[in-house]
Amino acid sequence: MLAIPEYGRHIHKMIQQVLAEENKEERNKQAQAIIGIMGNLNPHLRDVADFQHKLWDQLFIMSNFELDVDAPFPKPDAEVLAAPPTPLAYPQSYPKYRFYGNNIKGMIDVIVEWEEGDLKEALVYVIANHMKKCFLNWNKDTVEDKVIFGHLAELSNGKLVINSEDEVLSASENLIRLTNKRFAKGSRNTKNKKYRNQKQRRK
């Protein structure tokens, strides 16, 4: 099995030939030549920071860290590269109303710190509408606005309060229709893409 399959078997064979070379000066020349070839195989990475450093690291990896040459960069540590990656820190919060998701709770936590004004009121209304859509996606075909306003107040610890008599959210059927329309559009795009791919293959 190749250490870095992207470079192909020929590059790996060239590295094995360098390993078999007893003259260090000749090994240095051959290693430099291989680095040049590797760079030509990745022209899109030439503007990436430390591009040459990456190539030399890959050269040592493909030689199983056995290559003895005068490289412009220190040889990478095999043990460090072999170490398992650090586990990702997944969110550990479990909201009471999971159908709203953590993003909604995060938005609420941010907006409660905003100064009072028309912009804050407008955004609170937008959040409430999105909460209603999320509720409808996972629960029922309809929901009273006062239920959403109650959840909003609860999730904001009573700091975001909307009077159900003064404000009216989008109708449930409109939110459901909008969600279904987007889903249908996504399905059509997927089907059209499959059709175009099949048509291109026939050509």
Confirm whether 147 is domain-assigned: yes
Nearest to 59 by CA among 7, 116, 124: 7
Three-state SS for 122-180 is HHHHHHHHHHHHHHHHHCCCCCCHHHHHHHHHHHCCCCCCCCCCCCCCCCHHHHHHHHH
Question: What domain range is 139 assigned to?
Answer: 98-202
- What is the model's pLDDT at position 179? 59
- On whether both 108 and 188 belong to a single domain, the answer is yes
Confirm whether 89 is domain-assigned: no
- On whether both 194 and 144 belong to a single domain, the answer is yes
Distance (Å, rounded) from C-alpha 186 to C-alpha 163?
Answer: 36
Between 25 and 200, where is the model more confident? 25
Between 181 and 104, where is the model more confident? 104
- On whether both 53 and 118 belong to a single domain, the answer is no
- 184, pLDDT greater than 60: no
- On whether both 105 and 73 belong to a single domain, the answer is no
Confirm whether 124 is domain-assigned: yes
- On whether both 104 and 140 belong to a single domain, the answer is yes
Q: How many domains, in total, are found in the chain?
A: 2
- What is the model's pLDDT at position 164? 74
- On whether both 63 and 144 belong to a single domain, the answer is no
- On whether both 57 and 134 belong to a single domain, the answer is no
CB atoms under 10 Å from CB of 143, counted, come to 17
- 162, pLDDT greater than 90: no
Confirm whether 143 is domain-assigned: yes
- On whether both 58 and 124 belong to a single domain, the answer is no
- 55, pLDDT greater than 70: yes
